[in-house]
Amino acid sequence: MPADTVLLIGVPGLAKTKLVQTLGTVLGLEDKRVQFTPDLMPADILGSEILEEGEDGKRFFRFVRGPVFSQLLMADEINRASPRTQSALLQAMQERRVSIAGQDHELPRPFHVLATQNPIEQEGTYPLPEAQLDRFLMQVDISYPDDAAERQIIIATTGAKEVEPEKILSANDLMTAQAVVRQLPVGDSVIDAILKLVRAGRPETTDISEVREWVAWGPGPRASQALMLAVRARALLDGRLAPSVDDVLALAKPVLQHRMALSFSARADGRSLHDVIDRLSHAADPS
């Protein structure tokens, strides 16, 4: 289960790249950035074998690692690369290793992928395939800051000296925290809410008429797995030792919205996935 991959959606200038760089520093991770462009090739991400000649005159192949061999990889504007290059990340995101020339190469631990995407510009882009979207734990929509936040931004970033982030964790500390998240107990009511929410989003198994009419395909089992991990992490960050149904409802949109698709008629009628997920959350809320 890919627990460390997030897709950030937002217009240019909202500091998505800065966010990833800051996370790398604060969490003590080795981070690398790849700017996705139409001419980017899989080898530019994964690495490749080069032919070298030793001192004895014998030739041999040496594997040169690509930027994917990092603890935090930022895939900037991932939808600008070709499907061939996008798919190069699939094995890395799912299996934490890559295969080059028949040889498996393990990726560093921990391994995280944070990808960004511009929702406005569609010319010269390649929509991410559903199989790759499903491998992202969450899709986080980044909107414009509010008045108070923007005021702090312009004051903090335009002075003579800019405050730099500091390391507060190590990679081992982060992996320990991730292990703790998986050990948090989850009550039956939370599991029932997750199952009800996800299964209600599938046209084949739902009792909600709007879902049958509006949704072309719904979330798979990875959505249930993602919610289980996400609600545990949210509870721990909030100082609680067990998640609640409120956590499930709060994380429904970021976990489900990239794992569902509207039908053509629903899009023509101006429906949105947020409308559908709101309806699912209402049905899953026991209160």
pLDDT in tens, 87-97: 888 778 878 88
Whether 45 and 68 have beta carbons less than 8 Å apart is answered as yes
Instruction: Provide CATH code, domain 184-287.
Output: 1.10.8.80
- Residues with pLDDT less than 50, the chain: 1-2
Going from N- to C-terminal start, the domains of the chain cover: 1-168, 184-287
Which pLDDT does position 193 carry in this prediction?
Answer: 93
Which pLDDT does position 230 carry in this prediction?
Answer: 94
Which pLDDT does position 231 carry in this prediction?
Answer: 95
Which pLDDT does position 78 carry in this prediction?
Answer: 87
Q: Which residue has the tokens 């149904």?
A: 245
Token pair listed for 97: 């290793």
Instruction: Provide CATH code, domain 1-168.
Output: 3.40.50.300
Q: What is the 3-state secondary structure (H, E, C) of the chain?
A: CCCCEEEEECCCCCCHHHHHHHHHHHCCCCEEEEECCCCCCHHHHHEEEEEEECCCCCEEEEEEECCCCCCEEEEECHHHCCHHHHCHHHHHHHHCEEEECCEEEECCCCCEEEEEECCCCCCCCCCCCHHHHCCCCEEEECCCCCHHHHHHHHHHHCCCCCCCCCCCCCHHHHHHHHHHHHHCCCCHHHHHHHHHHHHHCCCCCCCCHHHHHHEEECCCHHHHHHHHHHHHHHHHHCCCCCCCHHHHHHCHHHHHCCCCEECHHHHHCCCCHHHHHHHHHHHHCCC
Measured distance CA(221)–CA(126) in Å, rounded:
26
Measured distance CA(50)–CA(34) in Å, rounded:
21
Measured distance CA(139)–CA(260) in Å, rounded:
12
pTM to 2 decimals? 0.84
Measured distance CA(30)–CA(107) in Å, rounded:
12
